[in-house]
Structure 1
Amino acid sequence: MDTTRNAVLEAWMTEHAYSSNSLADAVNLAVERLTGRPGGLDGSSIRGWKAGRVTWPKSATRKALEDISGLTAIALGFVPRGRVLSTPAPPQQQEDPDMKRRTLVGGIAAAAATVAVPGTSSPRRIGMSDVDRLQKRFAELIASDHRHGGQLGIEQRAAALANEALNLQNTHSATERVRSSLYASAAAFRSSAMWAAIDGRRFDDAKVHMREAQALAEMSGDQAIKFRIWSHAGTMYRHMGRPAEAIAANDVARNLRITRRDPLFACLGHARQAATYGLTGDNMAVRRALGCARDAFDHADQSLSRPMWMTAARDGAEFETLALAAHLRLGNFEQAETHAHRSLTLLRPQMQRDRAINTTRLAAAQLGQGDVELAIVTAMKVPSDVATQHARVTRMLQDFGAALRTTASSRTLVETWTEHAAVRGITA
């Protein structure tokens, strides 16, 4: 049996910092996403690929690997059954290892281009202009999320755009820089799909998107998108009521290099951790985290260019929103109301989803202080379309109604809200 080593796969793994075990884990997760059942690979399986003992993996495994890498199986050095595997010329004994690595990595891109466009000798080369085009689509997606949030259509569109970015990898040649940028774009789209699923309380779907986004982010090496994904993971676990996992995910985000280079990322990391500490009831931890977030915000250079999804963090609205969530969870209703008013002042007009959420939180803070009539007036300000079409807002308004019925002494006020909720279609 011919067991010529798969040098192309080895080079790709080296380039993207995959060990045999970590690649096995990534492929198993991708197989689960494709088939609904986890893959059964381990480190020895991947070592078999590299050694050439397995020249053509099973179809589901092959597709999973192609999804992760953005390359076809053939471009990764695998050979379909029935074809002859050519043996590469042995390297010179004194060959420079760095030169060998560059040669092999270049071979991956060349093989991908040749396989992707059969019968052509010079496939179209993609460049940063193609990446810029994807970034414009990402901007449109973020804008849609700010207006609507949580919608299944946004999730599906984001996932489709992630696949489009990966397809460019498969069908065109590109420099290493462009390929890294495409992986970052795919990770960004997938993280938006993840966020839409979280916002719509479709947590099982969110976890699938998270795993895919994490794999793509690792291949891109983009610190900002890694931060976004792990921060979203923390928020997901917080909404699921699993604070230990939320804290762990937030810690990964807060310990990335980018938080040391840019205090605004550190601010966001601390503020999101504060919201999670609110879930644990740890008042001191919340105040300490918010203090760190405020200090980091004050030291942030506002002139720096940052990803568009950081807009609310740059404005200070995100800090106020997360402080509001933390204090509301702790029952610090007066502080929560203060942060609510600040957030609503800072939020940009197009951020309709966040405005609706924070208006509902403001109503809850007012209710917690006994201002029943004012709380009802505030809750009624949430627009009907957001109240009925956004799962998180609907759930929050239902919780507000339940709290109102429990605490309000005026039957008339309770009936006023109940009638309003019934007309809006947001009753429990």
Structure 2
Amino acid sequence: MDTTRNTVLEAWMAEHGYSSNSLADAVNSAMERLTGRPGGLDGSSVRAWKAGRVTWPKSVTRKALEDVSGLPAVALGFVPRSRPPTAPAASQQEDLDMKRRSLVGGIAAAAAAAAAPGTASRRIGMSDVNRLNQRFAEIIASDHRHGGQLGIEQRAAALADEALNLQNAGSATQRVRSSIYASAAAFRSSAMWAAIDGRRYDIAKGHMREAQALAEMSGDQAIKFRIWSHAGTMYRHMGRPADAIAANDVARNLHLTRRDPLFASLGLARQGAIHGTAQDRTGARRAFGQAQEAMLRADPADHRPVWLLAFYDQAELDSLALCAHLALGDYPVAEYHAHRCLSALRPHMVRSRAIATTRLAHAQLAQGDADAATETAMNVPSDAATRHARVSRMLQEFGAALRATAPGSTTARTWTEHAATWRMAA
């Protein structure tokens, strides 16, 4: 029996905070809702899934697990008994096993079946591309909930490989092949963003290079914009504003930004954030003014990619302005943009809310209001405080600034005790 570990399931469990016992309990409860009788799973059952000893759970168990996770069983690394697993693509990631097991959405199973000896080559069509795009939407949603997690990066990278495997599964028109390359580039750019968000910059650069090559083969301007815009953000986080401006300029100079003001607005807003890091007050003010004007010109009815619609709006523009003015030391202006951002954030933007809340606490503390700042910082969810690299670092910096501003105060002690509860819960 093949006992290759199901590292896709392991990564999903780690991302969502499940132990073997707690996942077994959740699936048992879901089985009770489905059948009227509680399931009989325990921690050893889940460990058998993770170890690869059980590669395709029974149908009711599978349905219950899908209800708990919100994902089909194949997206969690399980392999249908009736279909052989696909051969692995050449590895570009550290975790090879995960790629072997990533039969997401049935795409790899279809590719393996098409390539099996004695079978005719299948026709790859836009329905296959649409299935890839559905998986991409799931990656985007997971990123906005959690952000920066290694599991998200790994799943996105594995999906990029699955898209490339599909190219070899049969014949296709040039339009379909270009769309598949665009999907692979989109997945790889999500892996890049997750690595940036988790401060894994060297790994992010590797994803960036592969994403750029795939985007060129696709000819898709929107995904080119996303990759180069991400590169600008990466260099900004690394404290390299000159490189950040150069990368962001590549995105801003694409024809797409002249056709669609919303893309132009995002490019300008990120340019403003870079100017803030570079201490260019005039440049930041001008960029954000132009970004606001471009956003107001954008037609909401225009067709745009899911990744853009999922996050870029007035709240994100204010979030970037908050970041810039905080870097510039314009703390009252930063606080203004923080409140605007937090009031407009959509419910699914969990990661963005944690970041904006933390930045608001910094702005309040810098204005001398330690009590309000501490109360704000304590509103950051413990999951973000302990598991999101950027948020964790900003909160550590907040604690250090608070102790320097009000050493030995009741407020400082309150914060220290609160932070300790986060660490205990991690």
- TM-score above 0.5, yes or no: yes
Q: CA offsets per residue over residues 249-301 of structure 1, 9 Å max, x none?
A: 01101101110000000000000011111111111010011011011111111
Pairwise CA distance, 1:121: 7.8
Pairwise CA distance, 1:404: 1.1
Match for residue 155 of structure 1?
153
Pairwise CA distance, 1:218: 0.3
Structure 1 runs of 4+ aligned residues shifted over 6 Å read 62-65
Match for residue 171 of structure 1?
169
- Taking a change above 3 Å as real, the CA distance of residues 265 and 367 of structure 1, as seen in their structure-2 partners, is same
Pairwise CA distance, 1:313: 5.2
Match for residue 194 of structure 1?
192
Pairwise CA distance, 1:123: 0.5
CA distance in 2, matches of 1:285, 1:181: 37
The partner residue of 2:141 within 123, 140, 143 is: 143
Match for residue 264 of structure 1?
262
Residue 223 (structure 2) pairs with residue 221 (structure 1): no
1:149–1:353: 8 Å Cα contact kept in structure 2? yes
Match for residue 286 of structure 2?
288
Secondary structure of the residue aligned to 1:425 is helix
The partner residue of 2:358 within 357, 360, 364 is: 360
2:266–2:312: 8 Å Cα contact kept in structure 1? no
Match for residue 252 of structure 1?
250
Match for residue 330 of structure 1?
328
Match for residue 397 of structure 2?
399
> What are the equivalent positions in structure 2 for 1:375-386 lying under 5 Å apart?
375-386=373-384
Pairwise CA distance, 1:424: 1.1
- Taking a change above 3 Å as real, the CA distance of residues 177 and 120 of structure 1, as seen in their structure-2 partners, is farther
Pairwise CA distance, 1:415: 1.2
- Taking a change above 3 Å as real, the CA distance of residues 64 and 401 of structure 1, as seen in their structure-2 partners, is closer
Secondary structure of the residue aligned to 2:171 is coil
Amino acid aligned to 1:215? A
CA distance in 2, matches of 1:335, 1:269: 21
Q: Which moved more, 1:398-407 or 1:267-276?
A: 398-407
CA distance in 2, matches of 1:351, 1:321: 12
2:124–2:169: 8 Å Cα contact kept in structure 1? no
The gaps in structure 1 that reach 5 residues or longer are: 1-61, 66-112
RMSD of equivalent CA atoms: 2.1
Match for residue 53 of structure 1?
none
Pairwise CA distance, 1:315: 2.8
The partner residue of 1:373 within 371, 374, 384 is: 371
CA distance in 2, matches of 1:117, 1:293: 49
CA distance in 2, matches of 1:184, 1:291: 32
Pairwise CA distance, 1:64: 9.5
Pairwise CA distance, 1:417: 0.9
Q: CA offsets per residue over residues 113-163 of structure 1, 9 Å max, x none?
A: 9xx847558410010000000100000110000111110000000000000
Pairwise CA distance, 1:241: 0.8
1:302–1:314: 8 Å Cα contact kept in structure 2? no
> What are the equivalent positions in structure 2 for 1:17-416 lying under 5 Å apart?
117=115, 122-311=120-309, 314-408=312-406, 411-416=409-414
Amino acid aligned to 2:420? A
CA distance in 2, matches of 1:370, 1:196: 34
Secondary structure of the residue aligned to 1:306 is coil
Match for residue 88 of structure 1?
none
Q: CA offsets per residue over residues 151-193 of structure 1, 9 Å max, x none?
A: 0000000000000000000121111000000000000000000
CA distance in 1, matches of 2:312, 2:414: 39
- Taking a change above 3 Å as real, the CA distance of residues 417 and 334 of structure 1, as seen in their structure-2 partners, is same
Q: Which moved more, 1:301-310 or 1:392-401?
A: 301-310
1:147–1:353: 8 Å Cα contact kept in structure 2? yes
CA distance in 2, matches of 1:132, 1:359: 36
1:324–1:335: 8 Å Cα contact kept in structure 2? yes
Q: CA offsets per residue over residues 336-382 of structure 1, 9 Å max, x none?
A: 11111111111111111110000000111111111110000000000
CA distance in 2, matches of 1:160, 1:312: 22
CA distance in 1, matches of 2:282, 2:237: 21
The gaps in structure 2 that reach 5 residues or longer are: 1-88, 93-110
2:311–2:349: 8 Å Cα contact kept in structure 1? no
CA distance in 1, matches of 2:216, 2:151: 27
- State TM-score, norm by structure 2: 0.72
CA distance in 2, matches of 1:158, 1:122: 30
CA distance in 2, matches of 1:130, 1:271: 35
2:150–2:195: 8 Å Cα contact kept in structure 1? yes
CA distance in 2, matches of 1:419, 1:268: 39
Task: Give the greater-gyration-radius structure (CA).
Answer: 1
CA distance in 2, matches of 1:373, 1:326: 24
Query: Structure 1 vs Structure 2: percent identity of aligned residues?
Result: 70
CA distance in 2, matches of 1:410, 1:305: 55
- Taking a change above 3 Å as real, the CA distance of residues 359 and 63 of structure 1, as seen in their structure-2 partners, is closer
Amino acid aligned to 1:266? A
CA distance in 1, matches of 2:192, 2:289: 29
CA distance in 2, matches of 1:406, 1:311: 41
